[in-house]
Structure 1
């Protein structure tokens, strides 16, 4: 049983070490009518329908522009997901093994790490659908 736990721990650590940069979240963006230009934090990203990828470490501004229609600015905000962070921390603590009294400490450390890296957050809204308003 300890060999299985150790093998799982090795896999979890290896995956964690190979991750590059802050955690990101993909947010699909669609508009009615289609063909609007999407700016993410001031940078032109794509034309709808499309998806943008934001890091989870901060809030972001999504701007949607189409000739003949009013501009739409939408804030994408971070939302702390305590249940998921604690669950992931508990799994890590259990996989790490050792004294059951140490699991709570490992959970706390893992949750702190997830908060620091941004993994404990989700960006909302997670899907953006906008009906554009014609300019007068």
Structure 2
């Protein structure tokens, strides 16, 4: 019995450590024509479209799409606050911790604050980028 409890405690600790990383979101990128290179915040993240890039949800990002013979495109990926998700998670956390019903609201507020700091309370938008590239030298 003690051994089972120790194993379960170790697994719970591993899950907590794994959950502490910066939350990321995959953004699908597709171009017409295919085969463009994608840079996120100036760093090459994808050698040939279609692909997806993994971005942290703690900040906005600039995607730059480059293909020889075509005009460079830039797309701003913005983080958007999702209060409904953060509050829901806070209320669930308060209930799971066995908080007194009158303390659930303060637990929810604490959880929302924590999710804002970690980036979990945000989603990146747009979550899918589809772009038709313009040939270089073509008029606007």
TM tier relative to shorter chain: 0.7 to 0.9
**Distance (Å, rounded) in 2 between the aligned partners of 1:109 and 1:60:** 27
How do residues 2-17 of structure 1 correspond to structure 2 at under 5 angstroms?
15-17=15-17
Q: Secondary structure in 1 aligned to 2:120?
A: coil
Equivalent position of 1:100 in the other structure? 101
**Distance (Å, rounded) in 2 between the aligned partners of 1:32 and 1:45:** 18
> Structure 2: 5+ residue runs without aligned partners?
1-10
How do residues 58-97 of structure 1 correspond to structure 2 at under 5 angstroms?
58-97=59-98
- Call closer, same or farther: CA 1:20–1:90 in 2, change over 3 Å: closer
**Distance (Å, rounded) in 2 between the aligned partners of 1:115 and 1:20:** 13
**Distance (Å, rounded) in 2 between the aligned partners of 1:101 and 1:37:** 53
1:122 equivalenced with 2:123 (yes/no): yes
Equivalent position of 1:135 in the other structure? 136
CA RMSD of aligned residues (A): 1.8
Distance apart, 1:71 and its partner CA: 0.4
**Distance (Å, rounded) in 1 between the aligned partners of 2:60 and 2:135:** 28
Q: Secondary structure in 1 aligned to 2:70?
A: coil
> Structure 1: 5+ residue runs without aligned partners?
1-10
1:37 equivalenced with 2:37 (yes/no): yes
Distance apart, 1:99 and its partner CA: 1.2
Runs of 4+ in structure 1 over 6 Å off? none
Q: Secondary structure in 2 aligned to 1:104?
A: helix
* Number of residues of Structure 1 aligned to a counterpart in Structure 2: 127
